Amino acid sequence: MGIIRDPMKLAVVGATGMVGNIMLQILSERKFPYSNLILVASEKSVGKKITYNEKIHEVISLKSAIDLSPDLALFSAGGETSLKWAPKFAEKGCTVIDNSSAWRMDPSKKLIIPEINANILNSQDKIIANPNCSTIQLLMAIAPIHMRYEIERMVISTYQSITGTGVKAVKQLENELNGEKGEMAYPYPILKNAIPHCDVFQENGYTKEEMKLVNETHKILNNYNIGVTATAVRIPVVGGHSESVNITLKNNASVDEIKRLLNSTDGIIVKDNPANNSYPMPICSEGSDNVYVGRIRKDFSKTNSFNLWIVSDNLRKGAATNTVQIAEFLIQNKLA
């Protein structure tokens, strides 16, 4: 991949956070093309020194970053920051790819998983939304099935890593493992527990996380007729998110056909041999950019229905990697 402009100024906003750190790692792994890297964080982190690719970078403020006129900005600094600052970057001609929920359901902004719908992007898109981590791994697996057989309905149960909540949650689990008291990210202990409460509850009784799976699925697939219902659960796991998904298809399919289809899909690894205890687990997905699918089997209780188990590292493909892939698509197609 070659640099299409000189210089190519790349800003990473939220560089000191959990996803920001992974984003920097992925930029290095994928040899992302830039000539000037701008690391940005909140005021409390301004002045902090970060060694990256054998070079020392000083973290600067959002205001200072705008003054440097970056060409591309990867945001992972929370919804409020994105709502306030992404338009200011865009006004300066910078293309923003935002990892928060701030712009996902804005009808004027595109919600992108590159393998599925990057083709709808154009040079006028100055704020591009990155989907929720649970949505990304779900759609990576079910989009090819939908395109071939058309999904009528989905029932989703998630088993989500504490890293989806952030550093505070990781610290809570560490404290509980060590028998220490400290700040609580959740209203209950997470150790030896499962909390059916991801994000805040909505008036309809679902949590915001559950409704993200519904609304983002409809928007990305551009199909609002698929029935989607979800229950999102937080569990004491660090490596990645898991999802149990039941799908009902409009057209006939077999387990073997679905396996062959997923095996031929980029970014998907089918790990499905129960006889050898081979199935996806978060402990195996950690550090990988792939989405793993297993336990693919027919649902005998309903016609043309199937069960799948989907696992992925929520900080990588579920967040940082997808963001970087969007940026790569923009550069490769001369859209940024």
Q: Which two tokens stand for residue 280?
A: 């996806």
Annotated catalytic residue 133: yes
Q: For 84, how many CA atoms within 13 A lie in the half-sphere containing its CB?
A: 9
State how far the alpha carbon of 321 is from the alpha carbons of 23, 53, 94, 124, 326, in Å. 7, 18, 20, 23, 9
**Using an 8 Å Cβ cutoff, are 278 and 271 in contact?**
yes
Is 198 a known active-site residue? Answer: no
Q: How far apart are CA 267 and CA 316, in angstroms?
A: 12
End-to-end CA distance of the chain: 14
Q: How many Å apart are CA 93 and CA 70, to the nearest integer?
A: 8
CA distances 335 to 27, 142, 201, 292, 316, Å, are 19, 28, 38, 31, 24
Catalytic residue among 94, 146, 241, 284: 241
Q: Which of 94, 133, 198, 284 does the annotation list as catalytic?
A: 133
Residue 16's closest CA among 36, 52, 45, 56?
Answer: 45
Distance CA(159)–CA(52), nearest Å, equals 33
Task: Give residues with Cβ within 8 angstroms of 302, minimum separation 6.
Answer: 248
Q: Among residues 119, 127, 126, which one has the least CA distance to residue 103?
A: 127
Name the residues annotated as catalytic: 133, 241
